[in-house]
Structure 1
Amino acid sequence: MNFSYSEKVNRLQQELTQFMEDYIYPNEHLYEDYVNSQGNRWETIPTIMEELKEKAKEKGLWNLFLPESEYGAGLTNLEYAPLCEIMGRSHIAPEIFNCAAPDTGNMEVLVRYGTEEQKEKWLKPLLAGDIRSCFSMTEPEVASSDATNIEASIVRDGDEYVINGRKWWSSGAGDPRCKISIVMGKTNPEAPKHEQQSMILVPMDTPGLKIERHLPVFGYDHAPHGHMEITYTNVRVPVSNILWGEGKGFAIAQGRLGPGRIHHCMRLIGSAERAVDEMCRRVQQRQAFGKKLSQQGVIQEWIAQSRIEIEQARLLTLKAAYMMDTVGNKEAKQEIAMIKAVAPQMALNVLDRAIQAFGGAGVSDDTPLAFMWAQARTLRIADGPDEVHRAQIAKLELKKYSEGVLVHGRS
């Protein structure tokens, strides 16, 4: 495995880093101030974001994801990893480069499974950044970490499908630019377990679709993006809105979540790197008990351990990305599961040390640390909780022995 970066990736890294320094970091507080100053945080489009998006387009820093696709930048997962990491250093950056969840995952679904009509109507506006989207899978009444538990119904009635169900944590649904939802539900409860589910495209203005409430994350509402609880009551859409076909929902979910999981991990490494930057600057500036904080042994231990954990997580992320590129997402599922279990906990460890080094300022909104901690903690649950990933890792490891692949450490 060769993890050295190509000339193209090195150039994009430099350009992204410069863009972050010139435009992203200086505008983080301006963005928050703008959102907070509006009367209705859920209806206002932060104009500063649109201005920065135009700058990103002008500089060719747009749609850098989508490997093996005519629509993306022609980067592999391995090439995209260090770029996504840079974006992960700021909570506003991914959207500015049109590389934010859930749009990236939804665009990948449309590229892989959408019809030409669906691509024309929804994929192209998403790629252009003209609209946004949400993904309605998780439900409050069932353990949604097992996707086969999903109970929302998708019933065919002539030339239409009728959708009924309650979803929550539909991230992005609060944004007034969100125009389309990908909904997962059951089309055939009598089919084999993994063929009961389907996914379907539901425009947000369809009668019967109702946003019930927004769901804060550790007190952060993430307006105007948000995480919404949505009810679908006798929602009717054309049969042509089904994705791939009836019974393909579980397969689509697995295909969608693989790239989404590793993108989260890439961004988490960026968050951890920024936390180390903030911590190192802070401890060089502050004194306690007669010497700089950076001279305190415990602080040095925090910095060393943080660097070790980040490098370990980065190498595992790169390995998973390399395998996705070379043997496919299915064969790389153990590596994807491992990094999804490792990266959020790593980021939480590093962020917690940085918060401790900042003291009272660390838990305030004067630094980005508290916000990043809340995001990282959520990712121990989102896209599958740690326990599910660890269970899968163990099963895949034991399978090698049950099939006689490994005997006493030898094949």
Structure 2
Amino acid sequence: MHFDISPKGQDYLNRVKAFIKNEIEPVEAAFWSEVTATCPGGDWRQWQVPAILEELKAKARAQGLWNMFLPDETLGAGLSIKDYALLAEQTGRSLLAPTVFNCNAPDSGNMEVLWRYGSEAQKQRWLMPLLAGEIRSVFCMTEPQVASSDATNMQATAIVEGDEIVLNGRKWWSSGIGDPHAKVAIFMAHTPDASKDRHHQHSMVLVPLDAPGVQIERMVPVFGDYDAPHGHGEVNFSNVRVPLDHFIAGPGMGFEIAQGRLGPGRIHHCMRCIGAAEKALELAIDRGTQRVAFGKPLLSLGGNRERVAEARIAIDQARLLTLFAAWKMDSVGTFAAMGEISAIKVVAPNVLQQVVDFAIQIHGGAGVSRDVPLTAFFSQARSLRLADGPDEVHKSVIAKMEIAKRASHGDR
């Protein structure tokens, strides 16, 4: 296996680092201060996106730092998963950078779904505006009334009636639905079909957010923060009718699409976690060397140097495991790397949570304020231990594969 970045990937990596340092970092604090001032509480109808974001996006696009997650050389950067992983790590150091580069969730995953599975009409109507950064999108899967760790529990329905699909159900944690530019959702729902097995009973449907019957009920706070101007909403779909051609890849294809969507997306999430962990460790070291208590720098007290070493070891282990998963996906495909993908989905958010907790402790009261990004990183880490499958589900997948491997050896 080889983790070396390609010359093309290295060029992108150098330019991404420079853009974050020169263009994003100098204005990021002011951006979030403006968000706080212009996005009052959970009333998403009043949320505004600071104008500086569009200015940054225009600069990024002009420099070709745009849609870098997409392996298509015409529509994206044409990078391997492994090469893009190193870019994702850099964007993870900033809460704003993924959006600036049009590489933010859930849009990146939704764009990849449309690129891989969408019809030409769906691509023209929704993919191209998303790739251009003109609109935002939403992914509606999790439901409040069932244990969504088992997606077959889904109660929302997508029923064919004549030449229409009728959608009913309640979704929540629909990320991005508070954004003023959100225009379309991918709605995953049960499409009963007695002729098909249980993993071909669900579909993904494109739903314009202005369709009659789509009602945003509220934004759901994460640790008390509404994550404006992005937001995570609870949405009711009541007898929403869309044409049959709004199925993505046809009825019953939901789980197959979901697996194709989640593989690369988990690499992105995990590498962003690693980038955030690197940033948190840097902040902890800076704080620990600059602040003095009891006559010594904070890092010289209470075993803090050992914690720095433990953080370094954990971050490097997580990075290597994630790059291995990315390399395997590039080499043999997503489905052959499912064990490794499950492993990194457990490891990376837990490492970020561990490192951020240490950084918060070093910062004292400042650590739980908004003066540094640590609370946002902590929220990211703790949330990702639930999103895209909780830790326990991924551990179960890993254990099942290990037991099967042992069983295949028989009595030898």
Question: What CA distance in whole angstroms lies between the structure 1 residues aligned with 2:158 and 2:72?
Answer: 32
AA matched with 1:259: P
Partner of 1:168: 172
Deviation at 1:257, TM superposition (A): 1.2
Paired residue for 1:237, among 223, 235, 242? 242
Question: What CA distance in whole angstroms lies between the structure 2 residues aligned with 1:333 and 1:118?
Answer: 29
Partner of 1:83: 87
AA matched with 1:262: I
AA matched with 1:2: H
Q: Is the Cα contact below 8 Å between 1:148 and 1:250 reproduced in 2?
A: no
Deviation at 1:402, TM superposition (A): 2.1
Question: What CA distance in whole angstroms lies between the structure 2 residues aligned with 1:95 and 1:44?
Answer: 15
Whether 1:214 and 2:219 are equivalent positions in the alignment is yes
Question: What CA distance in whole angstroms lies between the structure 1 residues aligned with 2:217 and 2:262?
Answer: 26
Deviation at 1:169, TM superposition (A): 0.5
Partner of 2:131: 127
Partner of 2:158: 154
Deviation at 1:69, TM superposition (A): 5.9
Paired residue for 1:63, among 64, 67, 76? 67
Partner of 2:294: 289
Q: Is the Cα contact below 8 Å between 1:160 and 1:236 reproduced in 2?
A: yes
Deviation at 1:293, TM superposition (A): 1.8
Whether 1:106 and 2:107 are equivalent positions in the alignment is no
Q: Could you say what secondary structure the match of 1:168 adopts?
A: strand
Q: Is the Cα contact below 8 Å between 1:401 and 1:407 reproduced in 2?
A: no
Partner of 2:353: 348
Question: What CA distance in whole angstroms lies between the structure 2 residues aligned with 1:96 and 1:364?
Answer: 24
Q: Could you say what secondary structure the match of 2:189 adopts?
A: strand
Partner of 1:338: 343
Q: Could you say what secondary structure the match of 2:303 adopts?
A: helix
Q: Could you say what secondary structure the match of 1:182 adopts?
A: strand
Moved more, 173-182 or 8-17: 8-17
Whether 1:371 and 2:371 are equivalent positions in the alignment is no
Deviation at 1:403, TM superposition (A): 2.6
Q: Deviations over 1:362-382 (max 9, x none)?
A: 111111111110111100000
Q: How does 1:131-280 map to 2 (within 5 A)?
A: 131-188=135-192, 190=194, 191-280=196-285
Partner of 2:20: 20
Question: What CA distance in whole angstroms lies between the structure 2 residues aligned with 1:58 and 1:399?
Answer: 50
Q: Report the CA distance shift for 1:169/1:337 in structure 2 as closer, same or farther (over 3 A).
A: same
Q: Is the Cα contact below 8 Å between 2:217 and 2:235 reproduced in 1?
A: yes
> Displaced runs of 4+ in structure 1, greater than 6 A?
none
Q: Deviations over 1:194-240 (max 9, x none)?
A: 11101110000000000000001001111111000000000000001
Q: Report the CA distance shift for 1:311/1:407 in structure 2 as closer, same or farther (over 3 A).
A: farther
Gaps of 5+ in 2: none
Question: What CA distance in whole angstroms lies between the structure 1 residues aligned with 2:296 and 2:166?
Answer: 68
Q: Is the Cα contact below 8 Å between 2:353 and 2:382 reproduced in 1?
A: yes
Q: Could you say what secondary structure the match of 1:185 adopts?
A: strand
Moved more, 62-71 or 374-383: 62-71
Q: Could you say what secondary structure the match of 1:207 adopts?
A: coil
Q: How does 1:395-410 map to 2 (within 5 A)?
A: 395-404=400-409
Partner of 2:11: 11
Deviation at 1:296, TM superposition (A): 2.9
Q: Is the Cα contact below 8 Å between 1:265 and 1:344 reproduced in 2?
A: yes
Moved more, 219-228 or 24-33: 24-33
Q: Could you say what secondary structure the match of 1:384 adopts?
A: coil
Question: What CA distance in whole angstroms lies between the structure 2 residues aligned with 1:9 and 1:228?
Answer: 36
Question: What CA distance in whole angstroms lies between the structure 2 residues aligned with 1:280 and 1:2?
Answer: 31
Moved more, 187-196 or 274-283: 187-196
Q: Is the Cα contact below 8 Å between 1:68 and 1:76 reproduced in 2?
A: no
Question: What CA distance in whole angstroms lies between the structure 1 residues aligned with 2:103 and 2:39?
Answer: 28
Deviation at 1:407, TM superposition (A): 6.4
AA matched with 1:78: K
Q: Report the CA distance shift for 1:39/1:12 in structure 2 as closer, same or farther (over 3 A).
A: closer
Q: Is the Cα contact below 8 Å between 1:282 and 1:358 reproduced in 2?
A: yes
Q: Is the Cα contact below 8 Å between 1:344 and 1:379 reproduced in 2?
A: yes
Q: Report the CA distance shift for 1:70/1:401 in structure 2 as closer, same or farther (over 3 A).
A: farther
Q: Report the CA distance shift for 1:364/1:234 in structure 2 as closer, same or farther (over 3 A).
A: same
Paired residue for 2:392, among 387, 391, 404? 387
AA matched with 2:165: Y
Question: What CA distance in whole angstroms lies between the structure 2 residues aligned with 1:401 and 1:106?
Answer: 37
Q: Could you say what secondary structure the match of 1:331 adopts?
A: helix
Q: Report the CA distance shift for 1:382/1:82 in structure 2 as closer, same or farther (over 3 A).
A: same
Q: Deviations over 1:139-169 (max 9, x none)?
A: 1111111111111111111111110000000
Q: Is the Cα contact below 8 Å between 2:39 and 2:229 reproduced in 1?
A: no
Q: Could you say what secondary structure the match of 2:335 adopts?
A: coil
Root mean square deviation, CA, Å: 1.4
Partner of 1:118: 122
Q: Deviations over 1:52-71 (max 9, x none)?
A: 00111111111100225642
AA matched with 2:113: V
Q: State TM-score, norm by structure 2.
A: 0.96
State the aligned residue count: 407
Q: Is the Cα contact below 8 Å between 1:187 and 1:196 reproduced in 2?
A: yes
AA matched with 1:211: I
AA matched with 1:324: M
Deviation at 1:333, TM superposition (A): 0.3
Q: Is the Cα contact below 8 Å between 1:84 and 1:266 reproduced in 2?
A: yes
Deviation at 1:297, TM superposition (A): 5.7
Deviation at 1:392, TM superposition (A): 0.3
